[in-house]
Amino acid sequence: MAEADPMIETHAPETKPGNPKRRRALLGIGGAVLLAGVGYGGWYALVGSHHVSTDNAYVGADTAQVTPMVAGQVAQVLVSDAQTVKRGDVLVRIDDSDARIALADAEAALAKAKRQFGQTSATGSSLASTLAAKDQAIAGAQAQLSSAQAALQKAAIDLDRRRKLAPSGAVSADELTSAINSYAAAKGSADNARAALQQAISAKDAAKGDLAANQALIDGTTVVTNPDVLAAQAKVDQARLDLSRTVIRAPVDGVVTNRNVQVGQRLAQGAAIMKVVPIRQLYVDANFKEGQLAHVAPGQKVEITSDLYGAGVVYHGTVVGFSGGTGSAFALIPAQNATGNWIKIVQRLPVRIRLDPRELDAHPLRVGLSMDADIHI
């Protein structure tokens, strides 16, 4: 066994004492991280998991488009951009000269229709009297026919008697000729009386037809319910409505915007001349990521702040519902994910939030402003 070289010294490894300050610092950092993690976990379990929020939210409104219902030249423009108006306030006046003339013409036609109805009613009475007179004419014609038939019968008897006496010479030829002439005259009178009776009957039938036609125009109606009068009244109502539409009024309470009408301008029916934004009926469309909406439902409460007023002003709203599709689904050129290289992009779905009108009165907003929305789920 070899002996150890006395020149070589054997040393045990030295252990450096640890730095207590560094150790305490690391322990402190670790404890802080652990405490922060526990705190965040507790906050998320108690608060964070009950909220979803987004800063991709904007103010919107169902604006009222103001358009003229009748064409014409602008006589007055009584409002300007950014002016607050109430429902029914006059915005624009159109020259109403043509409308007034049209109304006067329609009223004249209505008066004429009423007069014609009165005339038709009076004509009915006149035709009834004429019909009664025709009955009397028929009675007179019948009497004349009876008289003519009696005269004819007498003339026939006289002629027959004389013809029987002529062979014996008791009646002269002149007397027989006179009897023949008398019979012919009586027969002609009877024929004329018979024709006169037929003529009187035909005249009565014509008068009866005229009366029936006249009665058909007025039976079951009055001057108010007569069809011709009703048609004329409808034209008057239309003309009066067109006249009222020459005054364009605000359809809702709100603020005037996009005014593009000037005095003297010729307006076409239906042309857009301005908008009225109902600032007390604003809403917020908040675009949430699809992964945030699992527990969002209509009726949930929302706290909203605006970039305009900052965090010091909090609006309280209510979830109304969800849009029918994401923004990309209704884009002018929708995404074609079935072609080419596809990269999944998280979609956002608009959520409609109703605002409190009283809070809007206290702190008015405008369409398009940016908002932060926090839904309590």
**What is the predicted pLDDT for the residue at 113?**
85
Fold topology of 52-62+279-376: Elongation Factor Tu (Ef-tu); domain 3 (2.40.30)
Instruction: Name the residue ranges covered by the structural domains of the chain.
Output: 52-62+279-376, 64-98+246-277, 99-240
- One digit per residue, the tens of pLDDT, for the chain of length 377 reads 444 454 444 454 554 555 777 777 777 787 778 777 776 676 565 555 678 889 999 999 999 999 999 999 999 999 999 999 999 999 999 999 999 999 999 999 999 888 887 776 666 666 676 666 677 777 787 888 788 788 878 878 877 777 777 777 676 777 777 777 887 887 888 888 788 878 877 777 777 776 666 666 666 677 677 788 889 999 999 999 999 999 999 999 999 999 999 999 999 999 999 999 998 899 999 999 988 888 899 999 999 999 999 999 999 999 999 988 887 777 777 776 766 677 778 889 999 999 999 999 999 999 999 999 999 88
Give the Cα separation of 77 and 263 in Å (integer): 6
**How far, CA to CA in Å, does 245 sit from each of 68, 99, 104, 273, 280?**
7, 9, 16, 15, 26
Fold topology of 64-98+246-277: OB fold (Dihydrolipoamide Acetyltransferase, E2P) (2.40.50)
What pTM does this model have? Answer: 0.63
**Beta bridge mates, 303:** 316, 374
**What is the predicted pLDDT for the residue at 4?**
47
**What is the predicted pLDDT for the residue at 153?**
84
**What is the predicted pLDDT for the residue at 18?**
55
**What is the predicted pLDDT for the residue at 122?**
66
99-240 belongs to CATH 1.10.287.620: yes
- All residues at 6 or more sequence positions from 259 whose CB lies less than 8 Å from its CB, including other chains: 77, 79, 80, 81, 273, 274
Give the Cα separation of 66 and 271 in Å (integer): 8
Q: Helix, strand, coil: what percent of the chain each, to 5?
A: 50, 20, 30
Give the Cα separation of 86 and 255 in Å (integer): 9
Q: Count the neighbouring beta carbons within 10 Å of the beta carbon of residue 201.
A: 15
**What is the predicted pLDDT for the residue at 218?**
64
**What is the predicted pLDDT for the residue at 124?**
64
**What is the predicted pLDDT for the residue at 211?**
66
**What is the predicted pLDDT for the residue at 126?**
66
